Amino acid sequence: MQRVEAQIKRLIQECDYNEVTRLFAMLQGGKRLRAKLILKIAPKHKDAPLLAAIVELIHAASLLHDDVIDDAMTRRGAASVNATDGSKTAVMLGDILYSKAFTELVAFDKAVAQTIASSVTALSKGEMMDVKMAESFNSDEERYLDMLYLKTATLIEAAAKASALLAGKDADKYALYGRNLGLSFQIIDDILDITSDEATLGKPAMNDYVEGKCTLPYIYLYNALESKDQQKLISLHAKKPTEEELLWMKKKMQEHKTIEKSFELAQKLSNEAKSALHEDEDLVAILDTMIQRSY
């Protein structure tokens, strides 16, 4: 990881603009999940740290744009770039990170470069789908999971597949691992938005629904409710609920076990990923750690 951080620092310095260096320093932190995956899958390849750095720049760029779209004032417990320096600056910084990442990516083998590049198109499409879906209540589980795959899982899938290509390993198996890891990781995040408190989340609990996002627990709840309660749930969509309304939603979720049902899907996806790469203890451990973040 030290080599990855050194590569990231080099790429930022090569942008040759103090504002980029200053602003990027505000983004430091995070799990570096995608970078760690690449290093675990292709630990001996000389270009693995650079590929990991490229993917982390892409991920950082997507978060910058995501914060602007969501009007997010914080990121990982600190003020976001659009909060401190404005949305225009945040968008332009994201563009710089994307373009610098692609400048470096073209030096890789075509299959590796295409794997990463196509995932960026997919995640941008997923972001657009997420915004569109937030305009009205969505009760379609398949539609939600399609969006989740594009917006969240595709870059993790690409990181796993590309590093497998670097290392001469079975790219399809690693792609499946990355896809399922990404999906289950986000489903757990969706659960934590409901089950954790504001101090833990760094934002109000159940904030996803306030922002118009119908995550799996809400979709499962809608499909389990009777017509009258379905309409009540829809009426609370994309609005700041009262304490009484929050308690009503939580109570109904407990009655219909929608949190548990969501967790079961995350566990199923995790188990499928484990089966694909059961011989790799490190990758299995990542899945176990991710699942254990839950309620």
Domains delineated in the chain: 1-107 (1.10.600.10), 110-295 (1.10.600.10)
Contact call for residues 85 and 26 (beta carbons, < 8 A): no
Going by C-alpha positions, the residue among 188, 240, 242, 244 that lies closest to residue 217 is 188
In terms of Cα–Cα distance, which of 294, 275, 277 is closest to 160? 277
Q: What is the pTM of this model?
A: 0.94
Q: Position of tokens 């999906």? A: 183
Mean pLDDT for the chain?
A: 94
Q: What local confidence, expressed as pLDDT, does residue 31 receive? A: 84
Q: Is the confidence at residue 66, as pLDDT, over 90? A: yes
Distances (CA, A) of 277 to 99, 134, 148, 181: 33, 35, 23, 12
Looking at residue 200, its pLDDT comes to 61
DSSP state, residue 75:
E
Distance CA 58, CA 219 (A): 30
Flag whether pLDDT at 28 surpasses 80: no
79: helix, strand or coil = strand
Q: For 250-261, what is the mean pLDDT?
A: 98
Instruction: Give me the mean pLDDT over the 239-247 stretch.
Output: 94
pLDDT value at 295 more than 60: no
State pLDDT tens for residues 130-177: 999 999 999 999 999 999 999 999 999 999 999 999 999 999 999 999
Residue 79: strand pairing partners: 74
One-letter amino acid at 203 equals K
Q: What are phi and psi of 211, to 5 degrees?
A: -80, 0
- According to the model, what pLDDT value does residue 292 have? 87
In the numeric block, the tokens 């490229």 are attached to: 54
Q: What is the H or E stretch that residue 177 is in?
A: helix 171-195
pLDDT mean over 85-106: 98
Q: Are 149 and 156 in contact (CB under 8 A)?
A: no
Q: What is the pLDDT of residue 30?
A: 78
What would the pLDDT profile of 171-194 be if each residue is shown by its tens digit?
999 999 999 999 999 999 999 999
Question: Positive or negative, the Cα torsion across 209, 151, 58, 99?
Answer: negative
Structure tokens at 47: 């270009």
pLDDT of residue 75: 84
Banded model confidence at residue 231, pLDDT cuts 50, 70, 90: very high
For residue 201, the model assigns a pLDDT of: 57
What's the pLDDT band for 72 if we cut at 50, 70, 90?
Answer: confident
Strand, coil or helix: what is 255? helix
**Hey, what are 243's tokens?**
């304490």
pLDDT surpassing 70 at residue 238: yes
